[in-house]
Homo-oligomer: A and B are copies of this chain.
């Protein structure tokens, strides 16, 4: 019974929460905007970043580079980011926000503000504070495993 162990149940709940919360959040965003794209916009503004390579962005969000290429292509097509060749490295590129991207981020934040009171009623700050450290520990361990290539058990 693989789904019976508590750990599996935990991953199951986490999967569903992820799916539902992502969709609910996106339902408030402007038409066409996605969580993945918003995350990129927000990253630049929050951290006050000017330019960053696709590889660095992929690493920051813990997704693969092809995935980031894919998202950035769509964002550039929508005029949200601008991408130029890195003058110091012929292989690399540099991504930056456009004014449109900055405005879009503002719109997303304004639109999603609707959810704050709602989410507060779903889970209290105290509860979040109670479970977050454990989840972070788990995430860090899972992440360290990712680099360990295959699962070797002797």
A16: chain B residues at CB < 8 Å are 62, 139, 143
Classify chain A's interface size.
Answer: 35 or more
What is the 8 Å Cβ interface bit string for chain A, positions 7-22, against chain B (1 contact, 0 not)?
1011101111111111
A109: chain B residues at CB < 8 Å are 2
Determine whether the beta carbon of A24 is less than 8 Å from that of B145: yes
Determine whether the beta carbon of A139 is less than 8 Å from that of B13: yes
Q: How far is the CA of A4 from the CA of B42 in the complex (A)?
A: 11
> This chain: how many copies in the complex?
2
A17: chain B residues at CB < 8 Å are 11, 14, 135, 138-139, 142
Known A14-B21, A14-B135, A143-B16; judge A46-B3 contact (CB<8 A): yes
Taking a contact as CB atoms closer than 8 A, the residue among B2, B121, B123, B150 that contacts A42 in the complex is: B2
**A24 CB, min distance to chain B CBs, angstroms:** 6
A71 within 8 A of B: no
* 16 A/B residue pairs, CB under 8 Å, sorted by A: A3-B46, A9-B128, A9-B132, A11-B18, A11-B21, A11-B25, A13-B132, A13-B139, A17-B138, A17-B139, A18-B18, A20-B146, A114-B153, A121-B141, A127-B134, A131-B134
